[in-house]
A and B are shown apart, each in its own frame.
Chain A
């Protein structure tokens, strides 16, 4: 699977569900799909949620995406994220608030180095509460 296809497909479906997803969770992309161009077998996604939150609607959306494109999804509470220092350690990218920088080279705890952006940036604008 080509990287561009993988990210374009994920971006399109998530964008359609952005209000539901953003209301309940934070979604980050990470992993080998950032540095591999081809032979991408799945896209790594981590979903960060508040402990005790009901994830059933979120999981329904994520599962529907996963039937069209293989997603390796990790659900993690905010407490677990802090405990495991996951986001910084993986250099994960918030799929709604940041440009989806693909092909970038990152090291843990360093900012993204945007070598190129091969697909459109995320266009999600948070709703005023």
Chain B
């Protein structure tokens, strides 16, 4: 545990208690918090950390030695790799930032928590008649296997205003892709963003355009 991690538990504890659905937040160990949530029967155990990139190797050790319900990572829009996503699913704990934990508290769903956007994308892609399977390469990238043709890698960016930097940074952090999905239905795309995507050898598609591209690409 680094010094930058030691404070994460107490920091998060202070912030969580301000949420309307959380009755009590108690720091029980370094990086570990117990929550009492309104209309939720059992206590919720949250591990807290603060890293730009989250891998199995840098999560708090407590996540592997004890039961937790949710792993909170403080930076917004951090990278979660495939290994930690699979591990969380197999160990039944949710993952995400403070906003995700707030949403989980509202929805009373911690162990199987997925962001609404992720649920929508996974369900929509898996229901596509040309798709044989969908997996997550990281928390923003999806690998779409098709009955015919090569698998497609899709990077979902949820910004309301999609700029050139958002495209470049998205590719830098989450990896190259065949298509970028503008997953915010109200997305406004700048001309610079379109150019940045083209120069990176990809293109930005809205949801319906992506569904069509899966048939044709």
Contacts and interface: CB of A to CB of B under 8 A. Distances in A.
B76 A72 contact: yes
Contact of B52 (A2, A41, A67, A80): A67
A63 B78 CA distance: 10
B215 interface: no
B50 A42 contact: no
Chain B interface bracket (under 10, 10 to 19, 20 to 34, 35 or more): 20 to 34
B161 A86 contact: yes
Given A74-B166, A80-B164, A38 B18 contact: yes
Chain A interface bracket (under 10, 10 to 19, 20 to 34, 35 or more): 20 to 34
Nearest to A71: B76
Interface string B69-90: 0000011110000000000000
A50 B75 CA distance: 26
Interface in A5-55: 5, 38-39, 41-42, 51, 55
Contacts of A72: 76-77
A66 B75 contact: yes
Q: Is the interface of A mostly helix, strand, loop or mixed?
A: mixed
A120 interface: no
Contacts of A122: none
A75 B166 contact: yes
Nearest to B159: A74
Contact of A1 (B18, B77, B159, B169): B18
A3 to B, nearest CB: 9
Given A63-B52, A67-B74, A83-B191, A1 B15 contact: yes
Contacts of A79: 192
Contacts of B161: 74, 76, 80, 84, 86
A75 B19 CA distance: 29
Which 5 pairs between the two chains have the least Cβ-Cβ distance? A41-B99, A75-B165, A1-B15, A70-B76, A80-B190
14 contacts: A5-B15, A38-B18, A38-B19, A41-B97, A42-B99, A63-B52, A66-B76, A67-B50, A68-B74, A76-B165, A77-B163, A77-B192, A80-B161, A80-B190
